[in-house]
Amino acid sequence: MNQMQNKLEQKNGILFIILGIVITWFFNDTVGFLIDIVGALLIYIGMDKLRKDHPAFEKGRLAALLMFGARVCILICDFVFEPNSALAVMFSCIFMVPDVLGMVLALVVLSEGLSAIQKEYGVELNAVKFAKNVKAYSISAVTILMSTIFASFGAALFSFVLVIAFIVAIIFLLMLLYKLGRILNAYDDWRASRMVSALWSVTDETETNQGSAEGSGAFMPMSETAQPEEKHKEESTVKTIYLAGGCFWGAEKYLGLVPGVVDTNVGYANGTTENPSYEDVKYRHTGHAETVRVKYDETKISLEKLLEKYFEVIDPVSVNKQGEDEGIQYRTGIYYTDKADLPTINKVYEKVAEEHEEPLAVEVLPLVQYFEAEEYHQKYLDKNPQGYCHIDGCMFEKAKQL
Where would I find the H helices in 122-216?
A: 127-152, 156-199, 204-210
Question: Does the annotation mark 247 as catalytic?
Answer: yes
Q: What is the DSSP letter of 359?
A: P
Select from 135, 338, 321 the least CA-distant residue to 244.
Answer: 321
354 vs 394: CA distance, rounded Å: 26
Helix (H) or strand (E) holding 28: none
Estimate the crossing angle of helix 156-199 against helix 86-121, to 10 degrees. Answer: 30
158 vs 143: CA distance, rounded Å: 10
Cα-Cα-Cα-Cα dihedral sign, residues 61, 63, 69, 75: negative
Question: C-alpha angle 266/267/272, rounded to 5°?
Answer: 160
Helix (H) or strand (E) holding 295: strand 289-297
341 vs 306: CA distance, rounded Å: 12
From the list 93, 247, 389, 394, the catalytic residue is 247
Question: Which residues does 305 contact at the CB level (< 8 Å), separation at least 6?
Answer: 260, 402
Active site residues: 247
